[in-house]
């Protein structure tokens, strides 16, 4: 375990400079430095303002990047509104009535376009940088986001329904889903740690309260039933861990205590030494290792099938394709 962690930490250290080789097709964190030196600072400013106004927004922006990358790669497709030619991802089951932060992305895009005196920074890169800045704003680690993504010209509700891991998945389903995206067991546990931030809707954890009594702490269940009755209140919210606006390891502590809010969360820790139990215990005990590895896994996820070069486009408005 120590060797694995040290190798991932070394990856973070190597990425701390702009003078490095690109990972896959993406370029260095300095991609926009010559054409728009203040692009990343502008994104950070708007993100910090949005989170200061509503701390929950940090989790929402982070989630947008996740849900974007898991559907045909990190291409900004989640931001597209429906058109006469395609039904987009916003109203897919994993996103309907839950994906949010689109107005903040609009503000970021407008601010960046003004700062850059034109349409320079892609919406897909904005999502990746805003996710990192959200983590930092809520006490988490900084990491160097690789850049150069371009934006998709289409989106698919069907692909979103099929590709985004559901909160009802068992451990085998989670592993299969992540492996299909080129992500490992360790990536699954680390990226699930993003649930150290944010809330979930009652409809996504109701069955856990009333059908999984043996795997859910009794007192936690009774507390949650006041928020999420057996019928009604689908949009009522409960925190994913005990500190939903602070990036920490409480999420992992909760899994060990059988307090995981979502079925898919608790599947990471069954307490029998199988599956991901060891990783959950490790990150619960070593917050610095979680912080280091989170950055590495975010970079890995953020490099999933990006559009680069002449592929796609850079959208002027993140909600719609450009018209020539």
Active site positions, annotated: 67
Q: Nearest to residue 203, comparing CAs of 169, 171, 168, 172?
A: 168
Strand partners, 237: 201
What is the distance between the alpha carbons of residues 32 and 47, in angstroms, rounded to a whole number? 18
Task: Quote the CA–CA distance of 282 and 139 in Å, as a whole number.
Answer: 20
Within a 13 Å sphere around the CA of 166, how many CA atoms are in the beta-carbon half?
A: 11
Q: Is the dihedral of CA 68, 114, 81, 155 positive or negative?
A: negative
Contact 202, 235 (CB under 8 A): yes
8 Å CB contact between 298 and 191: yes
Nearest alpha carbon to residue 151 among 180, 117, 120: 120
Residues in contact with 167: Cβ distance below 8 Å, sequence separation at least 6, in sequence order:
200, 204, 205, 262, 263, 264, 265
């Amino acid at each position: 375990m120590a060797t694995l962690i040290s190798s991932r930490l070394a990856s973070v250290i190597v990425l701390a400079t702009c003078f490095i080789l690109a990972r896959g097709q993406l370029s260095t964190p300095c991609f926009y430095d010559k054409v728009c030196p203040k692009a990343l600072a502008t994104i950070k400013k708007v993100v910090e303002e949005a989170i200061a106004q509503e701390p929950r927004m940090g989790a929402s922006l982070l989630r947008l990047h996740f849900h974007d990358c898991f559907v045909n790669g990190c291409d900004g497709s989640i931001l597209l509104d429906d058109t006469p030619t395609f039904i987009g991802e916003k109203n897919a089951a994993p996103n309907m009535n839950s994906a949010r932060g689109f107005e903040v992305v609009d503000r970021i895009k407008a601010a960046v376009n003004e700062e850059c005196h034109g349409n320079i920074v892609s919406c897909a890169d904005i999502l990746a940088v805003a996710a990192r800045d959200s983590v930092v704003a809520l006490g988490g680690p900084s990491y160097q986001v690789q850049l150069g993504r371009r934006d998709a010209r289409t989106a698919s509700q069907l692909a979103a329904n099929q590709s985004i891991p559901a909160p009802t998945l068992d451990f085998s389903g989670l592993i299969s889903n992540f492996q299909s995206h080129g992500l490992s067991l360790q990536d699954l546990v680390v990226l699930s740690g993003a649930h150290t931030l944010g809330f979930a809707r009652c409809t996504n954890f109701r069955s856990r309260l009333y059908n999984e009594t043996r795997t859910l702490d009794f007192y936690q269940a009774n507390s949650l039933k006041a928020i999420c009755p057996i019928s009604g209140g689908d949009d009522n919210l409960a925190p994913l861990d005990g500190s939903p606006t602070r990036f920490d390891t409480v999420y992992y502590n909760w899994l060990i205590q059988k307090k995981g809010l979502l079925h898919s969360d608790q599947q990471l820790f069954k307490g029998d030494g199988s599956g991901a139990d060891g990783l959950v215990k490790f990150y619960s005990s070593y917050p610095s290792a979680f912080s280091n590895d989170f950055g590495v896994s975010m970079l890995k996820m953020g490099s999933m099938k990006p559009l680069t070069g002449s592929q796609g486009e850079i959208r002027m408005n993140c909600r719609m394709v450009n018209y020539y």
